[in-house]
Amino acid sequence: MSTPPMIDAQRLSLMLNELRLPAIKHMWGDFAARADKEGWPAARLLAALAEHEIAERDRRRTERHLAEAKLPAGKTLDTFAFDAVPMVSKAQVMAMCAGDGWLEQGANLILFGPPGGGKTHLAAAIGLALVENGWRVLFARTSDLVQRLQVARRELALESALTRLDKYHLLVLDDFAYVSRDQAETSVLFELISARYERRSMLITANQPFGEWNSIFPDPAMTLAAVDRLVHHATIFEMNVESYRRRTAQARRSGPGRPASFTTPKVLEAVRDNQSLTQKFM
């Protein structure tokens, strides 16, 4: 780092430490040397240093939020096959990744579909885009988070645990329908849904439509109340496509030139059977 003359660099470094300006501390000499060489006015030098500090703070904050989000690696919007899931609008997803609007209102996003249809990939990709846009996200398998909340309840700290989750603008609950039908588990899950209702957003991926959620909540009244809270102010994507893994395996067996079928009759039949209940809550 080049140092302009007549500057007490050590004292300046201490002052920048005191002011908590590490980026300026590291780069001020180079900026000052360039300013002297190019004849910058003082205001331009000050603005350049401030912009550099802000950019570095944003970068460090994004790194921290990415680390805490615990997102699956490699799941991005660029690698998501939107053409294989035609019922999901890429334009709508890209708009939601800005976050402002639905996250500020505590709205939810629910992704339905059979295994292998890309729900987890899309959920993680949306979470990554939101973190890059300055929002805080936490990704978790539903069963794992429920277990942690159960431990907190046994330790009489459930309320504190739910409050700590409030710092996340979006809570991604993956594999929602894999929670066991256990009174203790479903109770803390319902409390989590109720605590975030109209305050903080949730993104849920589930293999089962609402009509089969009695396998999650043993009490029909609790099932109805949970669904009601989740779908109020919610966007729902029904990703009813055949498993990507199955399509890949079929493509290997079939050889080139034979396109895989994205929607099986069995899936379509299941959609029709549950369409009325889904529409009821939308």
State the CATH number of the domain containing residue 100. 3.40.50.300
Q: Is residue 115 part of a domain?
A: yes
Q: Is residue 20 part of a domain?
A: yes
Q: Is residue 231 part of a domain?
A: yes
Query: Based on the domain organization, do 152 and 33 belong to the same domain?
Result: no
What's the pTM value of the predicted model, to 2 decimals?
A: 0.75
Instruction: Give pLDDT, residue 281.
Output: 41
User: For every one of its 282 residues, what pLDDT tens digit does the chain have, with 9 covering 90 and above?
Assistant: 455 556 788 888 888 888 888 888 888 889 989 999 999 999 999 999 999 999 899 899 999 999 999 999 999 999 999 999 999 999 999 999 988 889 999 999 999 998 888 999 999 999 999 999 999 999 999 989 999 999 999 999 999 999 999 999 999 999 987 776 666 778 899 999 999 999 999 999 999 888 778 777 878 888 899 999 999 999 999 998 766 555 555 555 555 443 333 333 333 343 344 444 344 444
Query: Based on the domain organization, do 122 and 225 belong to the same domain?
Result: yes
Task: State the angle between helix axes of 22-38 and 9-18 in degrees (0 to 180), rounded to the nearest 10.
Answer: 130
Q: Is residue 13 part of a domain?
A: yes
Q: What is the DSSP string of 77-136?
A: STTS-GGG-TTS-HHHHHHHTT-TTTTTTT-EEEEE--TTSSHHHHHHHHHHHHHHTT--
Instruction: Give pLDDT, residue 263.
Output: 34
Give dist(CA 70, CA 154) in Å, integer: 25
Domain count, the chain: 2
